[in-house]
Amino acid sequence: MPNHTDNSHAASAHYSPRLCNEDLAPTQDKNWTWYNIFSFWMSDVHSMGGYMVAASFFTLGLASWQVLLCLLVGICIVQLCANLVAKPSQIAGVPYAVVCRQAFGVFGANIPAVIRGLIAFAWYGIQTYLAANALMLVLLKFFPGLATLTHSSWLGLSALGWCCFGVMWLLQAMVFWHGMNAIKRFIDVAGPAVYIVMLALAGWIVYKTGFSGLSLTLASKSLSGGEQTWQMITATALVVSYFSGPLLNFGDFARYGKSMGEIRRGNRWGLPFNFLLFSLVTVVIVSGTQSLFGHMITDPIETVSRVGNDLAVAIGLLTMITATIGINIVANFVSPAFDFSNCSPQKISFRAGGMIAAVGSVLLTPWNLFHSPELIHYTLDVLGAFIGPLFGILLADFYLIKRSQISVDDLFDATPKGRYWYRGGFNPKAIAALLPAVAIGVAISFTPALHEVASFSWFIGVALGLGFYRFLARHEREVITQVKPVRASVTE
């Protein structure tokens, strides 16, 4: 479970047990520095998915400077949003699910918490499957006889596949089970380790092909001016959409930050600087594969497997596995742990919440989901349609309505006297803003004529959620600005 040392029972003894346990209570253990935040983003970026996304931008037919501009603008948007969403959690010391109580009500917060938890549900399984697939390649390379275990399958996965999936499932659970300090130590190592392998792989590529075999533009097609502009806008949106999941629950980690200054510094180094450097190394590797093997390889696992040296292959693939475990824990394990715990604090602990997601991910048989590209495309669009409005409503409530004030005690007050009680613990205005914003986003995602617009579902959702809620709650802002902050409010 998360490590709480001083927030203890004295500070939260008067909090409602319906809303609080030791995992959700405000933490006093704020010891994460900028490097820990930097490592968090490295774990998000340095994954197989991040590699493929970065490589794909260089195949759009754009000039290298255009691609780099898209990456920079997109990741700077992510950085800005990360700083905004981090503030309420950092100053109050509470996770995303608890912060949601300010906008949705102390019980209404279960709506955004469950939505984020279910999203992590699916992606936890998919990332575990990707790591298991890499492990299977390692085993087959060193123990070819295991190939007989791949001939039959059950529920769409071979016997060896099940074994590898089980191993990866257990490894991730072990790291998670030891709490946030163990997770912090793990991601501090996982992100930098991938850089070592990536730089070594890039060096091997350059050694084999020479600099003349490299190109920053990996596509041969030519685009008109209008097509280039549209591709640049789309690429920028895809960068933000890719990080929208961990961005929404960034507060789960920002709560442990020493200060907002440390968090902003970590975001600055972990996002613009780190993402651009990672993208450049990625394109060196991908462009080199085209010269070396005769066709472009965007799958890092396949590239590593072709190195030739067995030891190098093993180290490379195991490092990729480590990186995938890192992003899976920070993006898809910690979030549902807090989110599901928020639904019933006395019955579901941080550990129990995470294990619910872990078990549920197996029941979804994610390898079947992953093998359907059309379904994955719709899934990404629909997820953006849900995540965007939630993000917009939270920002509108904290910055525009509450004026950056948060009453910590009232986040755990389950009585009508609480500031975030609203109506029976639910804020009708937040729910009324969420429903149409999500409905419009989902409708866009499933309308063939709006296929290209669906790539911007996150941006559309943010705008709609923020706009609807700002309008519905406009009178509350006028009242709040006329009174002094309540005794328990926290401001920066």
Tokens of 282: 């990625």
Residue 291 has a CB neighbour count (10 Å cut-off) of: 16
From CA 170, how far away is CA 149, in angstroms rounded?
20
- φ, ψ dihedrals at 104, nearest 5°: -100, -5
**Mean pLDDT (the chain, rounded):** 83
CA atoms within 13 A of residue 200's CA, in its CB half-sphere: 15
Average the pLDDT over each of 248-262, 281-295, 372-386 and give the range with the smallest value. 372-386
The amino acid sitting at 15 is Y
What pLDDT, on a 0 to 100 scale, did the predictor assign at position 490?
45
Q: Which residue has the higher pLDDT, 99 or 171?
A: 99
SS3 of residue 202 by DSSP = helix
What value does the mean pLDDT take over residues 2-23? 67
Q: What is the Rg, in whole angstroms, of the alpha carbon atoms belonging to the chain?
A: 23
What pLDDT, on a 0 to 100 scale, did the predictor assign at position 377?
58
The proportion of the chain whose per-residue pLDDT surpasses 90, expressed as a percent, equals 33
Residue of higher predicted confidence among 360 and 489: 360
Helix (H) or strand (E) segment spanning residue 407: strand 406-407
CA dist., res. 70 & res. 67, Å (int):
5
219, 58 Cβ separation under 8 angstroms? yes
Look up the pTM and report it: 0.84
Residue-level pLDDT at 354: 84
Answer yes or no: is pLDDT of 300 > 80: no
